[in-house]
Amino acid sequence: MTRLFRRFFVVSMLFSASFLWAQSDDESDRSLIIVGSDTLAKLVTAWAEQFYVLNPTILIEVQAVGSAATPPALLLGTATIGTMSRRMNADERDAFTVRKQRPPIEISLAVDAVVLIVHQQNPLESVSMAEVGQIFGMPGTCGNSVRPVFWRDLREDSVLADRKLQVFGRTATSGTYQYFRRAALCDGDPGIFVNEMPGGAGIVNTVARVPGGIGYTATSYTSNDVKILGIERPDGRVLYPEDPEYPLKRTLYLYVMTDVRSERPSIECEFLAYVAGEKGRDLLRSAGFSIPQVADSQSALGVADACG
């Protein structure tokens, strides 16, 4: 009997990380290649790991290289499933539709929040959205004209008064970058002073070591080593990610390359059924995400049910 084993490796370079489960002999043509969001990497990896346990004769690869990698990977057929922390834009959709003669299958996968983080010893507790624009945007962003350079420019009584703000954000290939630019910077440009990093975990680890640091990242990457700031509303309330009205909540998406509804049941259909099932939903919640209550596109369960 052919002996199967699990081979796992991680390639972690400046802009990429990949995870592979495969068999050593009797290579199967059933493969699942998932490319895309860094924000969803830990969740998708957990799903893939458990799905492999149930389906040890398939090859599964997860590449967490950023949301911008998803549309071209699906278009060229180098991925079977793509994940994004933003929706495909009009150009990406049009290119897919022209090549595939149908629009992409879009699934509202999960909900999370983008949070502002500082060092644990920073006394700052909250900021307004106007201050977010000042801290992270170029002059003029959201109508602001002054950028805080020192912590005293943000809070006069700060114990960090004479220390410079060190600002950290994501790179342009990130869906989190694109979302933050739209939702927090009024579609303006991030400041040239922002230290851009390829992954959310890197931002958390850096801010945890830099007393004067401030950055943004997905909630799922936060740890006890950093402090999550509240967002001040004009009515005086301070909102946190668990609040329904928190202004930086977003939906995360999954895209499928094949037209699962017109082909025989595929490995993508089996994976979507697992994701939509009880165990898949439990992993989603334990990873710090929530299930969309009102989906703005199809659900994983809906697509799985529609599979050939």
Number of domains in the chain: 2
Asked whether the beta carbons of 65 and 35 are under 8 A apart, the reply is: yes
Helix axes 278-286, 267-276, angle to 10 degrees: 60
Residue 182 has pLDDT above 70, yes or no: yes
In a domain, 204, yes or no: yes
Q: What is the DSSP string of 143-156?
A: G------BHHHH-T
Which amino acid does the sequence have at 22? A
- Indicate if 26 and 77 belong to the same structural domain: yes
Q: For residue range 143-164, what is the model confidence (pLDDT) as tens digits?
A: 887 899 999 999 988 888 899 9
pLDDT digit string, tens, across residues 119-145 = 999 999 999 999 999 999 998 899 887
Q: Does residue 55 sit in the same domain as residue 149?
A: no
8 pLDDT more than 50: no
Pick the residue with more confidence: 167 or 20?
167
31-60 pLDDT, tens digit each: 899 999 999 999 999 999 999 999 998 999
> For the packed helices 41-54 and 278-286, what is the interaxial angle rounded to 10 degrees?
150
Q: Identify the pLDDT of residue 287.
A: 93
Contact predicate 118/227, CB 8 Å: yes
Average pLDDT over residues 97-115: 92
pTM of the shown model: 0.85
Q: In which domain, by residue range, is 219 found?
A: 112-249
Whether 3 is in a domain gets the answer no
Q: Which tokens belong to 94? A: 């049009």
Given a cut of 80, whether residue 12 has pLDDT beyond it is no
211-225 mean pLDDT: 95
> Strand 17-21 relative to strand 59-64: parallel, antiparallel, unpaired?
antiparallel
d(CA 135, CA 126): 13
Mean pLDDT of 223-238: 96
Same domain, 143 and 257: no
From 249, 265, 295, give the residue that closes a domain: 249
